[in-house]
Amino acid sequence: MKLKVSDIQTMMQYLRNVAEVDPNDEIANRASSLAWRLEGAGTSVFDMSDNFNKWSEEDQLTARYAISKRNKYRLTPGARHATIVA
């Protein structure tokens, strides 16, 4: 599945939200790393493809986790950091 620029930007926000509030440090660190690598994807510095199927299994799992938390971990308009929504 090929991702558009808007898809990658949305994914980066979901990953940043997970990185900020997830209680599991390992997951938070993986999310932060993936968001950072996606940020440089346009320059191919990290060899990140816009084809989701070419990502490593760990990156795919991390992205899916972030998507699953999109309604629970949110950055509200005007806020500086994501919060956990009950």
Segment 5-34, tens digit of pLDDT: 888 899 999 999 999 999 999 999 999 999
Burial of 69 (0-12, 13-18, 19+ CB in 10 A): buried
The range of the structural domain enclosing residue 55 comes to 5-84
Q: Say what the pTM is.
A: 0.86
Q: How far apart are CA 36 and CA 19, in angstroms?
A: 11
Give the model's pLDDT for residue 34.
Answer: 94
DSSP state of 82: -
Joined tokens for residue 58? 């760990």
Give the model's pLDDT for residue 1.
Answer: 80
Give the model's pLDDT for residue 43.
Answer: 53
What are phi and psi for residue 2, nearest 5 degrees?
-85, 135
Give the model's pLDDT for residue 42.
Answer: 61
Count of domains for the chain: 1
Mind listing the pLDDT tens digit for each residue in 27-82? 999 999 999 998 876 655 556 778 889 899 999 999 999 999 999 999 888 888 89
Q: Are 64 and 15 in contact (CB under 8 A)?
A: no
